[in-house]
Structure 1
Amino acid sequence: MSSETSLPSSGGKAKVCLIFATRGRAEVLERVVSFVDSQTVRPDLIIVSCVSDEDAGHLANRPGLLVIKGRPGLTAQRNHALKQVSDDFDVVVLLDDDFLMHDRWIAEVLKALDSDPSIACVTGTVLADGIHGPGYSVEEGQAILARATDVPCSLRIVPTGGPYGCNMAFRARSIAGLRFDERLVLYGWQEDRDFGGQIWNRGGRVVRINTALGVHLGVKRGRVSGRKLGYSQVINPLYLARKKTMPLRAALDHVMRNVASNIVRSFAPEPWVDRRGRLGGNLIGLWDFIRGRLTPERAANL
């Protein structure tokens, strides 16, 4: 029995479920899912949580893949998928629909979980993140991974304040009964930090490892408006601080950095970012906070 496919919780080959929540990006999703076939350890089930048939493209006919449809919104779609995961799964992986894994991503995550039963959540190392720029094409992402020949041989596990939502893996028994907060509407914004905070409050370890590599394409199609996101940039961290799933200092740091960045860059915004819209949303969020309104769901109506 290979150590990279076993977990203390399972006593045998780890059973892995991989979840994608998606909307409006079927072409990218189809290529990302096909790339999963290059994994040295493949998932036993892939769940695609979407809103309409068009969101899943031709994936409904793929063996070992389940397409489910429900209400829109990242947190709602992930929760809908989690309800479909049966009790016999050991590991649940959640990836963005534009995240490409290095071929040993799942194997390295299993190795980390196998090393310490107190580890509840593992997030990998992002080699390149298109969210900070115009984004990468699938071909560009694959080329970046192909150049990553120096994969670390020695696993290094470090504590982290929260997982990065584009690539997260969880020990299934550690998240039993947990759900993403559906008040964090639309794109979610800090929903990963909130979920990690729930795990941390249960006593589970949330870690990052250096050997599970990937590329976040940062596809811009399907993103929410700048105004809506700007509101979430302010309200969501403060809401999580009140929930005690994010330290207040970290929440204030998130808010200040985002507002400052939007102010400075609104004078010469990047073509792919609606800085002025974000700043407008920031100001609405700050005004709501001053009035004592921590209502993350308001972003949907802006």
Structure 2
Amino acid sequence: MSDDQRCWPSLCEGKLNIDVILATRGRPADVQVLLDQLRLQERAPDSVMLVGAEPKDLPDAAAVPNDPSVHRLVSPRPGLTSQRNHGVQTAKKISTPEAWLAKIIVFFDDDFRPAADWLQKCEALFAASPQVLAVTGAVIMDGARGSIAITEDQASDALALPRASDQTGYSKSKEGLYGCNMAFRATVFDQCAFDENLPLYGWLEDTDFSGQIRKFSDIYRASNLTGVHLGSKSGRVSGYKYGYSQLANPLYLARKGTITLGKCAYFWTRALASNALRSLREHPMIDYRGRLAGNMAAMADLIAGSIHPTNILSFHR
């Protein structure tokens, strides 16, 4: 690919502008694949913020030569929520007040593979529907829901299948946002931020953000914004830390008021039942026994009155 092909054209006067934020840790190869795919979008992004926890999280600088649209950033604090906030803050810093009002902020996970028309249809939706402030797309395959990740070839094959030509279809979402692919009017971030008390992998950060937005707006799901979530198993936190977060994070959000106690109970029941059942046999890909041990540590802290999401930062397993 030539340097000319790598450069993204600026948007015409009067249109919305789109910034894509990719928060990543430990997956520079995944980031590079997504970055190359963004260059092939039918509607190119105006800027891309690659936000790592440390420099080695980002693709080699040689992969983005002479391209001022790509910003290689390292967050002051590691963790999904901190890195996303750093990307938003950078996007606002380099925008004029007028451009901020016309900006769409898109978040993709580094292992998400959007259809080639994702950004084009996203722009059309926001341009045609001023009431829409937050939208999440439709994941047609999701490796995060299972124990085996989807391959790049499987994702390419799925995205190549014919789809309906729905241009603007969307509806209110009861489930809320799905963090692997979501978009917002930038002005949402004048009122909301990702909660940095949800550290590292940031379990339920999208659920918390949905709760923040629902205080002043509906959330929408667009069936025509399609993509594949590979569900890469690299770069994840330990099973023990994740298991602790499975209980600590929902309780924190319930106390904060971005989910109900009933929803918290659902998350607790699902985690405990799944981890207990699947711990009976060792799994080759997922540490269910570690997760269950993390669940038990969270319950012990609940009894002691010290349960909090940030406790995982002091764990050494």
Identity of aligned pairs, percent?
A: 37
Q: Aligned partners of 2:136 and 2:282: how far apart in 1?
A: 31
Question: Cα deviation per residue 1:155-212 (whole Å; 9 max; x = unaligned)?
Answer: 13232332111111011112214221111011000011111211112x1221111110
The correspondence for 1:78, drawn from 84, 90, 110, is: 84
Counterpart in the other structure of 2:53: 51
Counterpart in the other structure of 2:170: 156
Q: Is 1:279 aligned with 2:292?
A: yes
Question: Cα deviation per residue 1:107-163 (whole Å; 9 max; x = unaligned)?
Answer: 22223323432322110010111112310222222222112x123526132323321
The correspondence for 1:207, drawn from 213, 220, 245, is: 220
Per the alignment, in what secondary structure is the counterpart of residue 83 of structure 1?
helix
Unaligned runs of 5+ in 2: 1-12
Counterpart in the other structure of 1:7: none
Change (3 A) 1:248 1:116: farther
CA RMSD of aligned residues (A): 1.7
CA contact (8 A) 2:251 2:264 kept: yes
Deviates more, 1:273-282 or 1:134-143: 134-143
Change (3 A) 1:194 1:231: same
Change (3 A) 1:111 1:252: farther
Q: Is 1:247 aligned with 2:260?
A: yes
Counterpart in the other structure of 1:6: none
Q: Please tell me the residue identity of whatever aligns with 2:174.
A: T
Q: Aligned partners of 2:294 and 2:164: how far apart in 1?
A: 41
Change (3 A) 1:153 1:74: same
Deviates more, 1:105-114 or 1:43-52: 105-114
CA contact (8 A) 1:187 1:223 kept: yes
CA contact (8 A) 2:241 2:291 kept: yes
Q: Which runs of 4+ in 1 moved over 6 A?
A: none
Superposed displacement of residue 292, structure 1: 3.1
Counterpart in the other structure of 2:182: 168
Change (3 A) 1:268 1:54: same
Counterpart in the other structure of 2:243: 230
CA contact (8 A) 1:175 1:199 kept: no
If the length of structure 2 is used for normalisation, what is the TM-score? 0.87
Q: Aligned partners of 1:117 and 1:286: how far apart in 2?
A: 45
If the length of structure 1 is used for normalisation, what is the TM-score? 0.91
Q: Aligned partners of 1:117 and 1:234: how far apart in 2?
A: 37
Q: Aligned partners of 2:229 and 2:190: how far apart in 1?
A: 27
Deviates more, 1:250-259 or 1:231-240: 250-259
| Residue correspondences, number | 290
Superposed displacement of residue 20, structure 1: 0.3
Counterpart in the other structure of 1:221: 234
Deviates more, 1:40-49 or 1:287-296: 287-296
Q: Is 1:61 aligned with 2:74?
A: no
Q: Is 1:95 aligned with 2:108?
A: yes
Change (3 A) 1:62 1:53: farther
Counterpart in the other structure of 2:202: 188
Q: Please tell me the residue identity of whatever aligns with 1:78.
A: R
Question: Cα deviation per residue 1:204-259 (whole Å; 9 max; x = unaligned)?
Answer: 22111111001011111111000000000001011101111112211211111111
The correspondence for 2:124, drawn from 111, 114, 126, is: 111
CA contact (8 A) 1:94 1:166 kept: yes
CA contact (8 A) 1:60 1:67 kept: no
Per the alignment, in what secondary structure is the counterpart of residue 135 of structure 2?
strand
